[in-house]
């Protein structure tokens, strides 16, 4: 039995796990992604957590098949670089793979975090029976992993699927990337919290916004309905572009559950271009919030 070390780097937290060949998580930890320190210092913290987990689980170096990293884009997977991620200021041009190799002498593979999560959903999750699907994660930002004709679509440099920067509503303001009205600017967890805080005049999380809307709050109900519509618009764009068999929604915002899925399915059924597209199933991630972590390990365990 071999173990993959999965590292899912996020804008707010980094999840680290020891995952076996069946996809079972043997151990996992998370730590804040501290943007107040250098990326190299952050990697040193990750390495210390990994080593502590290996020691705690009595796993020897001979049992480690490799390290898989799911990281936010834009990135350069061939060179192992984090290029210029909007949610990781200060990490521009950072050689993440090379820095991690200073701590561990094992094979290391890196892909966009949503791409890695898509591989996990194909391996063990909601897309096991599909050869054509898109995995969309809606959390700090919005990203997509694309799978077509039985393989991952990674693009020339690993950035295929950066769907969070599809323009949805130019009137909604300027995204961190510089464009107006990007999908993640209007519908990510960060976007929901920002808009809810502006409307209420007090700090409000995305979770609180959804709870208030469900309770009938007159300010939050229109916001949540608009977010559902924006998510539907992004899904229609992916359906029209890629002709998938299904779309898998993951990430923290997708945990809202049935109200979101019903609203998005209704939008898709009304607005996707073709008859088959309008019937595209919109399903929750089978691995829920673990898709990113298991996906990072899948980069080691699963051929792609």
- pLDDT tens-digit readout, 188-232: 999 999 999 999 999 999 999 999 999 999 999 999 999 999 999
121: in domain: no
SS3 for 264?
helix
The separation between CA 104 and the C-alpha centre of its own chain, rounded to angstroms, equals: 25
52: in domain: yes
118: in domain: no
Measure the CA–CA gap between 265 and 280, rounded to whole angstroms: 8
Count of other CB atoms within 10 angstroms of residue 213: 21
Residues 266 and 295 in one domain: no
Residues 274 and 215 in one domain: yes
DSSP state of 81: E
Quick one: CA dihedral 204, 179, 113, 12, positive or negative? negative
Quote the pLDDT of residue 226: 98
- DSSP string computed for 89-156: TT-TTB-HHHHHHTT--S-EEEEEHHHHHHHHHHHHSTTTT-SSEEEEEESSSEEEEEEETTEEE--S
**Which range of residues forms the domain containing residue 158?**
126-284
120: in domain: no
Measure the CA–CA gap between 96 and 8, rounded to whole angstroms: 12
Measure the CA–CA gap between 27 and 116, rounded to whole angstroms: 19
95: in domain: yes
Residues 234 and 133 in one domain: yes
145: in domain: yes
Question: Which regions in the chain score pLDDT beneath 50?
Answer: none
Residues 32 and 97 in one domain: yes
Residues 135 and 42 in one domain: no
Quote the pLDDT of residue 109: 97
Residues 101 and 131 in one domain: no
**Total structural domains within the chain:** 2
Quote the pLDDT of residue 61: 86
Residues 237 and 157 in one domain: yes
Residues 92 and 131 in one domain: no
CATH of residue 24: 3.30.420.40
Residues 216 and 147 in one domain: yes
Residues 134 and 241 in one domain: yes
Quote the pLDDT of residue 37: 95
Quote the pLDDT of residue 89: 87
Quote the pLDDT of residue 27: 95
Residues 139 and 272 in one domain: yes
**Which spans in the chain are helix H?**
39-56, 96-101, 113-124, 183-187, 189-200, 206-214, 220-242, 258-271, 275-278, 291-301
277-292: burial string, b at 16+ Cβ within 10 Å, e else: beebebbbbbbebbbb
172: in domain: yes
Measure the CA–CA gap between 122 and 106, rounded to whole angstroms: 25
Residues 131 and 279 in one domain: yes
117: in domain: no
């Amino acid at each position: 039995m071999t173990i993959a070390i999965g590292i899912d780097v996020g804008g707010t937290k980094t999840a680290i796990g020891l995952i076996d060949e069946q996809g079972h998580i043997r151990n996992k930890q998370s730590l804040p992604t501290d943007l107040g320190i250098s990326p190299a210092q952050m990697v040193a913290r990750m390495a210390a957590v990994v080593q502590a987990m290996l020691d705690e689980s009595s796993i020897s170096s001979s049992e480690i098949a490799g390290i898989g990293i799911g990281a936010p884009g834009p990135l350069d997977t061939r060179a192992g670089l984090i290029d210029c991620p909007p949610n990781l200021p200060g990490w521009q041009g950072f050689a993440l793979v090379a820095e991690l190799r200073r701590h561990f002498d094992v094979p290391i593979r890196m892909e966009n975090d949503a791409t890695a999560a898509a591989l996990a959903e194909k391996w063990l999750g909601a897309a096991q029976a599909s050869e054509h699907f898109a995995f969309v994660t809606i959390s700090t930002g919005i990203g997509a992993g694309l799978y077509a004709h039985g393989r991952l679509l990674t693009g020339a440099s690993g950035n295929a699927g950066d769907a969070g920067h599809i323009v949805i509503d130019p009137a909604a303001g300027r995204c961190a990337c510089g464009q107006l009205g990007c999908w993640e600017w209007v519908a990510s967890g960060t976007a929901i919290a920002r808009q809810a805080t502006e409307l209420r005049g007090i700090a409000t999380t995305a979770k609180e916004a959804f709870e208030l809307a469900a309770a009938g709050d007159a300010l939050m109900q229109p916001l949540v309905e608009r977010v559902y519509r924006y998510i539907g618009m992004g899904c229609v764009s992916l359906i029209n572009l890629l002709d998938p068999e299904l779309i898998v929604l993951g990430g923290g915002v997708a945990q809202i559950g049935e109200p979101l899925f019903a609203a998005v399915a209704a939008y898709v059924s009304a607005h996707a271009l073709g008859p088959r597209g309008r019937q595209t199933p919109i399903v929750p991630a089978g691995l829920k919030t673990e898709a990113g972590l298991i996906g990072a390990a899948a980069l080691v365990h699963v051929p792609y």
